[in-house]
Structure 1
Amino acid sequence: MPGLTIGDSLPNLQVDTTHGKIKLHDYVGDSFTIIFSHPGDFTPVCTTELGMMAAYADKFAERGVKLLGLSCDDVESHNKWIKDIEAFNNGKKVTYPIAADPTRDIIKQLNMVDPDEKDPDGHIVPSRALHIVGPDKKIKLSFLYPASTGRNMDEVLRALDSLQKAAKHKIATPANWKKGEEVVISPSVSNEEAKKMFPNGFKTTDLPSKQEYLRFVNV
């Protein structure tokens, strides 16, 4: 195993944050939760990323999703940095907590260690990682970017919409899918079952193999 990954349970760690001490399982509760790490406070790409998370906070909240940031800097540093994030983001408030990890223990347990980068003292630093955690406290999806590449929040939101829809229906989302577009029915669902599950009907794509596996439906 490469470390915490899709399908693994989130460890129930207690973390110190800008909103006080929290236990991860209590924070997740019955919600989807996005836990994202950044290499360091007062750095350029991270400032834009946390600002964009703040800008998208309402969209995540509409979907019942919680946010939790993380880096190895302490809470005092986070609180000072938040002022820069909000100033850069035209005053949009950072309403989500940011966890501190000065011992580097949390990033190890959450599989958020950058394999190459080190701080000036030679200590490990967080990767630009993001886990989407389900209400069952399991990792549903992970993104991992190098320090030089900032995240695309539209893709995070799109992936979240896909996960939440797949959690409710036996479907999957095709390439480049966006919320509101057709989805595909899971191969594990027979045509007979699909007719019952989707009474408004579905479309089966005619393929050279004549296998009826590519079935589109609106849900």
Structure 2
Amino acid sequence: MPLSINSIAPDFKAHTTEGMIQFHDWLGDSWCVLFSHPKDFTPVCTTEIGSVAKVKDEFDRRGVKLIGLSVDPVAEHMRWAGDILAATGQSPNFPMIGDPDLRIAKLFGMLPEDATGDSASRTAMDNATARTLFIIGPDKKIKLTVSYPMTTGRNFDEVLRVIDSLQLTARHQLATPANWISGEDVVIVPSVSDETARQRFPGGWESPVPYLRLVGMPS
């Protein structure tokens, strides 16, 4: 079955650019962003790794660990790091998983189980579906999954926005509306009765329609 929201993220042992990890142990009780790449030395992925490395402190501030995966060996990742620095001005500052036998890409449903060969025998186009980003919670469950085509770079400001929403709504019985950014009004979820909502939000809320209750974001 394909992984979906609320699936437990698979555990695995793998070599990374920062040593061997057991994924669930490495996660601990942190949030995590795992994002994958179909091949080293590819243009869009080069810009992505440099871009997310530049804002790693924003992920750190939110208690979120970053980890990349590319369908190539760790030794190739280490060589690629020089190109990433030259192209973006930023070296990778988070671990990159080596997956030359496609094992982890298959485990996360990014490549079909019957995919053949290894990283040396496959092109980036052969691995084009290994372009998925997962946000994983402290409970090891997948909170978001989104796949990108090879021609479209990922927007990490949007990833941070989603993390802000996920962390807020994990603490409170709230949701966030379309285009929400941190600090704006939030939505009281339908499972919270009006009576309970009055106790939690004594200042009241706005209801443009009966089932939409907008309230100021709690601090």
- The TM-score, its normalising length taken from structure 1, stands at 0.90
Q: Which residue identity is paired with 1:103?
A: D
Q: For 1:16 and 1:202, locate their aligned partners in 2 and report how far apart those are by CA, in whole Å.
A: 53
Q: Does 1:93 align with 2:95?
A: no
Write out per-residue CA displacement over residues 84-115 of structure 1, whole angstroms, 9 at most, x where no aligned residue: 1122222x23210000111111001112238x
Q: Does the aligned pair in 1 maintain the 2:190–2:211 contact within 8 Å?
A: no
Task: Determine the C-alpha separation between the residues in 2 that align with 1:87 and 1:108.
Answer: 31
For the 8 Å contact 1:28–1:66, the answer to whether it is kept is: yes
Query: Cα distance, 1:121 vs. partner?
Result: 3.8
For 1:212 and 1:142, locate their aligned partners in 2 and report how far apart those are by CA, in whole Å.
28
Shift, 1:122, TM fit: 5.1
- 1:121-132 residue pairs with structure 2 within 5 A? 121=121, 124-125=126-127, 126-132=129-135
The CA deviation string for residues 150-170 of structure 1, in whole angstroms up to 9 with x for no partner, is 111111111111111110110
- Cα distance in structure 2, aligned partners of 1:109 and 1:167: 27
**Matching of residues 43-58 of structure 1 within 5 Å:** 43-58=42-57
- Equivalent-residue separation in structure 1 for 2:68 and 2:186 (angstroms): 31
- Of the candidates 132, 136, 141, which is equivalent to residue 139 of structure 2? 136
Count of aligned positions: 212
CA spacing shift, 1:73–1:187, aligned 2, 3 Å: same
Q: Select 2:204's aligned residue among 196, 202, 214.
A: 202
Give the letter for the 2:38 counterpart: P
**Runs of 5+ in structure 2 lacking a partner?**
none
Q: 1:70 to 1:120 in 2, by over 3 A?
A: closer
Contiguous gaps of at least 5 residues in structure 1: none
Identity rate of aligned residues, in percent?
Answer: 47
For 2:95 and 2:120, the matched residues in 1 are separated by 26
Q: Which amino acid aligns with 1:85?
A: I
